[in-house]
Amino acid sequence: MRKIIIAGNWKMNKCKDEALEFIFKINNKIPNKKKIETIIFPQLTLLDALVQIEGENLKIGAQNIFYKKQGPYTGEISPENIKSLGVEYVLINHSERKIHFGENDYIANLKLLSTLSYKMYPIVCIGENFEENDDKKEKTKFFLDKQIEIIFKNVDLKEVKNIIIAYEPTWAIGTEKKIIPNQINQIIKNIRKKISLLFSLKESEKIRIIYGGSISSSNAESFLMQKEIDGILIGKNSLKVSDFLFFIKIAKNIKKIF
């Protein structure tokens, strides 16, 4: 069985003191990394301080990365720099990078290849918007397949197992639209099938695919129970210690639907 991932994306929240306090409070309460993979993505300015105090079972990841080693790229941070801090995980292609900074799947591909070349683990976000989503999911499948083809171009077969996919449909973020876990499970099953066609069945069964989209304490269990969903990427609901530990507690006790 694939190991469950609980990942918290803090986005542009928490100053240094708040972040340190949070990590100190949860460090001793994180389950063994052999059972659950627990990752926090803070602001880039906090990486150095938090990596130094991360416990054995907690990992600190970068919210963003640039694909060049160095050069005239004001405001960016290189994979070499991120790696030197001791960071192991990098978030790539988050919907907010597309909405606010004009990034696209071609840039995501460059970031993915660069992250892998530095032996870090990328969490690659993919997902469709309102227009690309449909009830029968045919349009959704077409869009996600195309997205995967672009982002995974030139990825070596042996690297696939080191990639984590986060299915993050923008229509599901902060929406009143009902999100049905078994429908999300089917979409992720289709994503896994696309990976098998691009690479191999064996690799598609190894790769972990998590879900992110309005995750809360009331619905997390129903998503984690699904066979194809290997974890959750949590946004604002990862900012409180009690909430984050509750998600971990759910993951520890989860019984998968087969």
Could you confirm whether 168 is annotated as catalytic? Answer: yes
Among the listed residues 54, 168, 203, 228, the single catalytic one is 168
Among the listed residues 94, 128, 159, 203, the single catalytic one is 94
Could you confirm whether 221 is annotated as catalytic? Answer: no
Q: CA-to-CA distance for 100 and 110, rounded, in angstroms?
A: 19
* Residues with a known catalytic role: 94, 168
